[in-house]
């Protein structure tokens, strides 16, 4: 059975991570994604983890399911090829600084004139308006200026640490591309109209921090009060950032409830607990023999007894967890209905029984790097199943194939290659 986006053609002018992830997800949903690369290729082909000429682990990870064609957009012949492909496309995805598309002839005004029904999805770092609109930006920068690094709490000698397990702003933006393009396709189905979509790393970084960013005028959090009352004073006084950061991290909201939502060291490993409701917290307390006074009638959070109890609760649980093995605690807590799980390393998940049973880890083949394993499709759909049709493309692997589909003869293709309009 075909995927839900079967028959949708996507032209992708993307590089690095955010844009490629969006194209990859569209391919997983069944779209035919054509990645137009410059003569030198997507820079991410040279990212850490080389796996053959012009290939890298990073590139392979975020470009599966696509076809690759090398086109020089600075040449007239390359422009003609690009426009011919856009004529028959449903979607265009790109991520560049706002000043770049017009220079390459791939701006919305130009491409919507070529194909008025096209859905044009653009990704920038900071958005199309404002003082930073033309600045370059990457995930690590957006993590810093959006407050994600300071909120995360990692401390490297007084400097907030990067969230490194995943380029979170990039990844969230990739998902946003897939969702907004799908919605625009539905809108076009009803109205016949294409449109321009603007996505940014900053917007998605802020959206991921919705809880911390949400403000209630009548009920400010300790950190919001600190921002208004203390932070300006500390900055004006020239206090070092490391000291300001320490003060910020001390402003916590309901820290006692974190006792039920964290990882603990056991006698032999580490276990993670997730109790986000009082009934679940009560189950955990009962299973571990802890009397949590916050569940007592008449509990007053601001009382001296309550404050002292909150300060010691995590310490008490830490001691208890250290007295049994992870497996012992998993059995006890699972029997009590407490959500919990053991700590793992991501590298272990390629052979995890649960992940494999649900198609969360799948194998594909790369023409240069061989067999690869990685995350499976995002969801399982009963009537229009998602599937990974191919691994990431080799550099310019499908140039001839794509040009032939566009109506170019063998002679035309040879001429385009001879003039280095395509490769």
Query: Is 80 contained in some domain?
Result: yes
Query: Is 358 contained in some domain?
Result: no
SS3 call for 37? strand
pLDDT at res. 254 = 63
Q: How far apart are CA 148 and CA 214, in angstroms?
A: 14
Q: What percent of the chain has pLDDT over 90?
A: 84
pLDDT at res. 253 = 61
Residues 66, 190: one domain? yes
Q: What percent of the chain has pLDDT over 70?
A: 99
Question: Does the pLDDT of residue 164 top 90, yes or no?
Answer: no
pLDDT at res. 250 = 86
Q: How far apart are CA 281 and CA 333, in angstroms?
A: 11
Query: Is 365 contained in some domain?
Result: no
Residues 245, 261: one domain? no
- Report residue 332 as tokens: 């006890």
Give CA separation, 279 vs 76, 196, 286, 309, in Å.
67, 47, 11, 19
Query: Is 361 contained in some domain?
Result: no
- Mean pLDDT value across the chain: 95
The boundaries of the domain holding residue 234 are 218-249
Q: What is the mean pLDDT of residues 79-84?
A: 98
Question: Does the pLDDT of residue 255 top 80, yes or no?
Answer: no
- Number of structural domains the chain divides into: 3
Task: From 249, 272, 300, give the residue that closes a domain.
Answer: 249
Q: What is the mean pLDDT of residues 151-160?
A: 82
Q: How far apart are CA 406 and CA 201, in angstroms?
A: 34
SS3 call for 150? helix
Residues 78, 55: one domain? yes
Higher pLDDT: 222 or 139? It is 139
Residues 230, 189: one domain? no
Beta strands in 229-275 (DSSP E): 261-265, 270-274
Question: Does the pLDDT of residue 24 top 90, yes or no?
Answer: yes
Residues 121, 44: one domain? yes
Query: Is 157 contained in some domain?
Result: yes
What CATH number should be reported for the domain holding residue 202? 3.40.50.10540
Residues 311, 412: one domain? no
Residues 86, 232: one domain? no
Tens digit of each residue's pLDDT (9 = 90 or more) over 374-391: 999 999 999 999 999 999
Residues 316, 227: one domain? no
| Residue 57 pLDDT level (bands cut at 50, 70, 90) | very high
pLDDT at res. 302 = 74
Residues 181, 222: one domain? no
Residues 54, 195: one domain? yes
Query: Is 199 contained in some domain?
Result: yes
Tell me how crowded residue 311 is: count the other CB atoms within 10 A of its CB.
11
Question: Phi then psi for 139, rounded to 5 degrees?
Answer: -50, -45
Query: Is 259 contained in some domain?
Result: yes
pLDDT at res. 359 = 95
Active site residues: 170
Q: What is the mean pLDDT of residues 287-312?
A: 86
Check if the beta carbon of residue 14 is closer than 8 Å to that of residue 95.
yes
Residues 144, 16: one domain? yes
DSSP 369-406: TEEEEEE--S---SSS-----S-PPPTTTTHHHHHHHT
- Report residue 178 as tokens: 């897939």
Query: Is 359 contained in some domain?
Result: no
Q: How far apart are CA 205 and CA 181, in angstroms?
A: 19
Residues 41, 178: one domain? yes
């Amino acid at each position: 059975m075909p995927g839900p986006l079967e028959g949708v053609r996507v032209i992708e002018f993307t590089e690095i991570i955010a844009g490629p992830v969006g194209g990859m997800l569209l391919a997983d949903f069944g779209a035919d994604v054509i990645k137009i690369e410059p003569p030198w290729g997507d820079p991410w082909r040279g990212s850490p983890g080389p796996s053959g000429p012009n290939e890298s682990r990073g590139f392979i990870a975020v470009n599966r399911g696509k076809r690759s064609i090398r086109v020089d957009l600075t040449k007239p012949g390359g422009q003609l090829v690009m426009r011919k492909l856009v004529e028959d496309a449903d979607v265009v995805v790109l991520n560049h600084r706002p000043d770049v598309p017009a220079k390459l002839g791939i701006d919305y005004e130009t491409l919507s004139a070529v194909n008025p029904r096209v859905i044009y999805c653009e990704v920038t770092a900071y958005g199309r308006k404002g003082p930073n609109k033309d600045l370059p930006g990457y995930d690590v920068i957006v993590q810093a200026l959006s407050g994600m690094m300071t909120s995360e709490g990692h401390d490297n000698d007084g400097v907030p640490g990067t969230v490194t397990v995943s380029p979170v702003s990039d990844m969230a933006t990739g998902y946003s591309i897939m969702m907004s393009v799908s919605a625009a396709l539905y809108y076009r189905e009803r109205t016949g109209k294409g449109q321009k979509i603007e996505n940014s790393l900053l917007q998605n970084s802020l959206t991921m921090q919705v809880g911390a960013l949400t403000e209630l005028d009548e009920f400010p959090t300790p950190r919001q009060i600190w921002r208004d009352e203390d932070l300006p004073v500390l900055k004006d006084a020239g206090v070092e950032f490391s000291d300001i950061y320490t003060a910020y991290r001390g402003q916590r909201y309901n820290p006692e409830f974190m006792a039920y939502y964290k990882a603990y060291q056991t006698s032999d490993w580490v276990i993670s607990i997730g109790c986000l409701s009082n009934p679940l917290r009560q189950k955990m307390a009962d299973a571990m023999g802890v009397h949590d006074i916050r569940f007592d009638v008449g509990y007053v959070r601001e009382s001296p007894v309550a404050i002292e109890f909150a300060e010691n609760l995590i310490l008490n649980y830490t001691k208890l967890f250290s007295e049994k093995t992870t497996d012992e605690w998993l059995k006890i807590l699972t029997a009590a209905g407490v959500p919990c799980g053991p700590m793992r390393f991501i590298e272990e998940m390629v052979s995890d029984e649960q992940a494999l049973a649900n198609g969360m880890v799948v194998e594909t083949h790369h023409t240069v790097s061989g067999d690869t394993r990685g995350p499976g499709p995002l969801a399982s759909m009963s009537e229009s199943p998602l599937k990974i049709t191919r691994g990431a493309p080799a550099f310019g692997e499908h140039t001839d194939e794509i040009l032939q589909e566009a109506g170019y003869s063998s002679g035309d293709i040879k001429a385009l290659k001879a003039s280095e309009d395509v490769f």
